[in-house]
Chains A and B, each alone.
Chain A
Amino acid sequence: MSKVLLKIDGRAVEAKEGMTILEAAQSAGITIPTLCHHEKLDPYGACRICTVEVEINGRTRYAVSCVYPVEKNLLVRTRSAKVDRIRKMILQLLLCHAPDSEQLLDLAKEYGADRDRFEQETSFCIHCGLCVRYCAEVKQKNAVGFINRGTKREISFVPELAVLECWRCKECFPLCPTSALQAAYVFIESLKQGDDSPALLSYNK
């Protein structure tokens, strides 16, 4: 594998050919915020939060670093006024779906995103696809998948498969950046146990 030299935030970084900008930055200890990225999974480019400024031959454009392969003499800026503005907007849009997600709120604080900027439509899912891809690529069970499209798109378990596999796996729960899966599971478990379980009580409040 040939080496590629590029500059990220003014630092010279050596990367292998075929690596993405995100991987190159991480190997150099530079952090780029991510929501849909997971090192065990193929790049997906769903959340766009890892958008960076890329300069080639004096031309600047904005690229999603988790799917953009490194090139020779690439100049990457992980923070700039416009990058911050893009990330702020993405966060505000994601926060309509999951206004109480800790991961999103932490990022919102950093980028000055207002969680009440847009009307809330709390579905709790930001379509990062982590659970779907983890189930398909790592566990190879395919118990959870996407259904419908556009604004109606959502994740859905196949009941016949989920009843066999999910109860002892649950590995997709901690991956979820909004904890939507876990919340749904805790809620249904508490329904089964009756009215006095703590989860349901806090839900009813």
Chain B
Amino acid sequence: MDNGRIEQIIDKHEGAASSLIQILLEIQSENHWLPKEALTRVSERLGVPLTRVLHIATFYKAFSLVPKGRHAVHICTGTACHVRGAQRILDAVQDTAGIKPGETDLDMRFSLETVNCLGCCALGPVMEINGKTYGKISPAETAAVLQKYE
């Protein structure tokens, strides 16, 4: 993400300190993570101390301070999905992608994350990629789904 785009996002919010979280969210959604340079720039422009920005950026799980892959893979391990075999889905995805939950592969293709409930328990077991939900999925089908994402 280039600096110009960060400036643009800050300008859109008129550099108001109260828009800190909104600005961080926008950078996060475009860049998939918050690089140090972005945090320093936001802190300078908004006049919010860097410690405060870091406090907020590490507080919310929506923000990541480490690089994330292009596609966010979420596998639900909530109660309903768990009893319908979420662990086997997770194992299959781990095998295909070669990463454990919380990790990102070297090509920056996938970031794998387990979540506790996606709110559609009737579809369990559920896998979600970039917000698109794949319900009632079987371990064998996961590889084909992952292949659709480059």
Q: Which residue of A lies closest to B51 (CB)?
A: A145
Interface residues on A, range: 10 to 19
How many Å from the CB of A55 to the closest CB on chain B? Answer: 37
Contact A158 B59 (CB under 8 A): no
Contact B51 A142 (CB under 8 A): yes
Instruction: Assess whether B19 is interfacial by the CB under 8 Å rule.
Output: no
Contact B51 A158 (CB under 8 A): yes
The one of B50, B52, B55, B59 in contact with A161, judged by C-beta atoms closer than 8 angstroms, is: B50
Q: Which residues of A contact B51 (CB under 8 A)?
A: 132, 135-136, 142-146, 156, 158
The one of A135, A143, A145 in contact with B55, judged by C-beta atoms closer than 8 angstroms, is: A145
Contact B58 A147 (CB under 8 A): yes
A167-201 interface (Cβ within 8 A of B): none
Contact B54 A156 (CB under 8 A): yes
Instruction: Assess whether B49 is interfacial by the CB under 8 Å rule.
Output: yes
Q: Which residues of B contact A144 (CB under 8 A)?
A: 51
A125-156 interface (Cβ within 8 A of B): 132, 135-136, 142-149, 156
Contact B49 A148 (CB under 8 A): no
- Tell me, in angstroms, the Cα distance from A149 to B61 when the chains sit together: 10
Q: Which residues of A contact B50 (CB under 8 A)?
A: 142, 145, 158, 161
Q: Which residue of A lies closest to B61 (CB)?
A: A149
Q: Which residues of B contact A136 (CB under 8 A)?
A: 49, 51
Q: A136-B49, A142-B49 are in contact. Are A149 and B54 (CB under 8 A)?
A: no
How many Å from the CB of B34 to the closest CB on chain A? Answer: 13
Q: Which residue of A lies closest to B57 (CB)?
A: A147
The one of A132, A135, A149 in contact with B59, judged by C-beta atoms closer than 8 angstroms, is: A149
Q: Mark B48-78, 1 if CB is under 8 A from A, else 0.
A: 0111101100110000000000000000000
B30-54 interface (Cβ within 8 A of A): 49-52, 54
Q: Mark A86-117, 1 if CB is under 8 A from B, else 0.
A: 00000000000000000000000000000000
Contact B52 A158 (CB under 8 A): no
Known: A136-B51, A143-B51, A147-B54. 11 other contacts (CB 8 A): A142-B50, A142-B51, A145-B49, A145-B50, A145-B51, A146-B55, A147-B55, A148-B59, A156-B54, A158-B50, A161-B50
**Which residues of A are interface residues toward B (Cβ below 8 A)?**
132, 135-136, 142-149, 156, 158, 161
A-B CB contact pairs (8 Å), 18 listed: A132-B51, A135-B51, A136-B49, A142-B49, A142-B50, A142-B52, A143-B51, A145-B49, A145-B50, A145-B51, A145-B55, A146-B51, A147-B54, A147-B55, A149-B59, A156-B54, A158-B50, A158-B54
Instruction: Sort A-B residue pairs by CB-CB distance and give the 9 closest, nearest first.
Output: A145-B51, A142-B49, A147-B58, A142-B51, A149-B59, A148-B58, A146-B55, A145-B55, A158-B50
